[in-house]
Amino acid sequence: MGVEERESLNEIFETSNGVLFPHGFDALRNGRFRVREFEKAFSDKFSCKHTQAVTSGTVAQLVAMVAMGIKQGDEVITQAHTFVATVESILAIGAVPVIVDVDDTYNIDPISLENAITSKTKLIVPVHMLGNPASMDKILEIGKKYGIPVLEDSCEALGATYKGQFVGTLGDAGVFSLDFAKTITTGEGGLVITNNSHCYKIAKEFHDHGHESNPNFPRGRDTFFFETGSKVT
């Protein structure tokens, strides 16, 4: 870390008393909501409607899968060449990882992908390993053909593009890692991005212990939302 980074850290304490939480501590934060500011800046840069910050890339995938309706017993197809967290997240949700081969891109092989699809397949997770984009045109075509959503694991590819478009923005949702080894770091951290407002709503509330952030209630009496659409105070 250099002078610029140290000055930036000091500024957090000088202007908003070190408050980094995305909500609360209004008397101390002097109107600065840094997490929300970062989410908006990311959405603007990547031309996506919604960005949700979470604690890691692993959690980002877990939150995204919950928001996309993946449940215990569902099959999730991903690739053999990946970081272990991709499969850990699938297992953590109780889903079944289906591992397929890679092609010359060193990412998911579309032929192997299509051959692995069954009636239980509910999600496709291509991984843009080491900043190298997967063959998204073919992957998205297969997803559309079978009515299966695509979640892009872009944890190692923040800023990479595929045919002029940022990876993570091509599928139904994308996830990124912000740990210290990544292109942009928050020390630890991750992001879920999507243009689907319902997916974002579930992701936002699931990562925050179910809080709906209803402005008409204090946080301790917040409302929460069920996927059935009912609301409870």
Using an 8 Å Cβ cutoff, are 189 and 198 in contact?
A: no
Res 48 pLDDT > 60: yes
Q: What integer pLDDT is reported at residue 176 of this predicted model?
A: 98
- The domains found in the chain, sorted by start residue, are 47-232 (3.40.640.10)
Distance between CA atoms of residues 150 and 46, nearest Å: 18
Query: What six digits make up the tokens of 31?
Result: 């109107």
151-153/173-177 β-pairing: parallel
Q: Which band of pLDDT confidence, cut at 50, 70 and 90, is reported for residue 218?
A: confident
Q: Which band of pLDDT confidence, cut at 50, 70 and 90, is reported for residue 226?
A: low
Query: What six digits make up the tokens of 113?
Result: 């992908």
- Give 71-128 pLDDT, tens digit per residue: 999 999 999 999 999 999 999 999 999 999 999 999 999 999 999 999 999 999 999 9
- Give 113-171 pLDDT, tens digit per residue: 999 999 999 999 999 999 999 999 999 999 999 999 999 999 999 999 999 999 999 99
Distance of CA 227 to the CA centre of its chain: 19
Asked if 231 is an active-site residue, the reply is no
Which SS3 state, helix, strand or coil, does residue 108 take? strand
Q: Which band of pLDDT confidence, cut at 50, 70 and 90, is reported for residue 227?
A: low
Q: Which band of pLDDT confidence, cut at 50, 70 and 90, is reported for residue 230?
A: very low
Please pick, among 122, 182, 201, 204, the residue that the annotation labels catalytic. 182
Quick one: how many helices (H) and strands (E) in the chain? 8, 11
pTM of the model: 0.92
Query: What six digits make up the tokens of 149?
Result: 């959503």
What is the average pLDDT score of the chain?
93
The angle at the Cα of 26, spanning 22 to 32, to the nearest 5 degrees, equals 55
Name, in order, each residue with C-beta under 8 angstroms of 6's C-beta and a sequence gap of 6 or more: none
Query: What six digits make up the tokens of 162?
Result: 């595929």
Q: DSSP secondary structure string, 197-228?
A: HHHHHHHHHHTTTT----TTS-GGG--EE-TT
Q: What integer pLDDT is reported at residue 225 of this predicted model?
A: 75
Sheet holding 96-100, edge to edge: 96-100, 75-79, 121-125
